[in-house]
Structure formats: structure tokens, C-alpha cells
């Protein structure tokens, strides 16, 4: 169950257009796969080195603080997603999805607690949590 399967899942469940990965860190596989299949990917992280590296790989990346997000950055996104987010940013990710009125998809790190109210979806063995679908 490669991590790129998450991109395949998103491709089957989110209309083509703008999609944002929150807390991309240095894990670029999902964003690159989404670019490959025709999405306009916005990668977001607070770490300037992560943003720089994403840009080097051809990903549109910006710095933002998920605890106080710049809503203008997310204009037009069809969905938000996050790959193995740290527990402390789960709440802000879900709040941002609610504020924008878009679905949120999370591929958690094994063993991480996922907030209540999220729907568990199994896709090719990947546990994906969704809210707002």
C-alpha cells in the first residue's frame, strides 16, 4: 500500500481543480502524483525549507500558519488533505475545512488519534479519514 495510493483515492473522490496539502513537510510523493494526474496542488507548511524544496520540485508551495491561516491562499480549493499530520495541527486542519466549506481528507500516522466526527474509509489498505464529504 504505497502512499501514492492516497493520491489515487483523492483523484477518484475530489473533482479536478485546486487542492491543498496542509503540513507537507518533506513528503512530496502525494502532491507530485496529484500534479501528474492533473490537479493544481497548493502545498502549505510553516517551514521555509519545506516550501523551498517543494518549489524546487515544481509544486506551488507557500508558508502559512494553520493556527492563524491566511484564508486568501485557499481561495478556490476543492478539498484539503494532509499526510501524517502531527496531532496538534489536526484541529486547525478541520477548522480550516469548515471555514472554507470543503472536505478534508487525512492519512494519519499509524497509532495517531483522529478527532471524533471523521469518517474512516479504507482504500487499498490505507486508513483515510474524511470530514465534510
Would the pTM of this model clear 0.85, i.e. be above it?
A: yes
Q: What integer is the mean pLDDT of 53-78?
A: 97
**29-36 vs 4-13: helix crossing angle, rounded to 10:** 40
Q: What integer is the mean pLDDT of 12-27?
A: 96
Among 105, 109, 108, CA closest to 119: 105
Alpha-carbon span 128 to 47, nearest angstrom: 25
Write the CATH number for 81. Answer: 3.40.50.150
The pLDDT, as a whole number, for residue 112 is 67
The pLDDT, as a whole number, for residue 114 is 74
- Which phi and psi angles does 41 have, rounded to 5°? -95, 130
Helices (H), 1-133: 4-13, 29-36, 48-56, 87-100
Cell numbers at 40, concatenated: 493544481
Q: Are 32 and 24 in contact (CB under 8 A)?
A: no
The pLDDT, as a whole number, for residue 115 is 72
The pLDDT, as a whole number, for residue 111 is 67
Number of domains in the chain: 1
What confidence category does residue 133 fall into, taking pLDDT thresholds of 50, 70 and 90? Answer: confident
Q: Are 19 and 79 in contact (CB under 8 A)?
A: yes
| Structural domain containing residue 75 | 4-131
Q: Are 42 and 23 in contact (CB under 8 A)?
A: no
What confidence category does residue 1 fall into, taking pLDDT thresholds of 50, 70 and 90? Answer: low
- The mean pLDDT value of the chain amounts to 94
Cell numbers at 24, concatenated: 507537507
pLDDT in tens, 81-130: 999 998 899 999 999 999 999 999 999 877 667 778 899 999 998 999 99
The region, left, alpha or beta by phi > 0 then psi within -120 to 50, assigned to residue 53 is alpha
What confidence category does residue 2 fall into, taking pLDDT thresholds of 50, 70 and 90? Answer: confident
Amino acid at each position: 500500500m504505497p502512499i501514492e495510493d492516497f493520491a489515487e483515492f483523492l483523484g477518484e473522490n475530489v473533482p479536478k481543480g485546486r487542492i491543498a496539502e496542509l503540513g507537507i513537510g518533506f513528503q512530496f510523493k502525494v502532491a507530485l502524483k496529484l500534479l501528474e494526474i492533473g490537479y493544481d496542488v497548493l502545498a502549505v507548511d510553516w517551514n521555509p525549507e519545506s516550501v523551498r524544496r517543494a518549489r524546487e520540485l515544481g509544486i506551488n508551495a507557500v508558508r502559512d500558519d494553520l493556527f492563524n491561516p491566511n484564508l486568501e491562499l485557499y481561495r478556490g480549493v476543492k478539498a484539503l488533505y494532509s499526510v501524517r499530520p502531527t496531532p496538534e495541527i489536526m484541529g486547525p486542519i478541520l477548522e480550516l475545512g469548515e471555514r472554507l466549506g470543503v472536505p478534508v481528507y487525512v492519512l494519519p500516522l499509524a497509532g495517531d488519534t483522529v478527532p471524533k466526527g471523521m469518517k474512516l474509509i479504507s482504500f487499498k489498505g490505507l486508513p483515510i479519514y474524511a470530514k465534510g464529504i
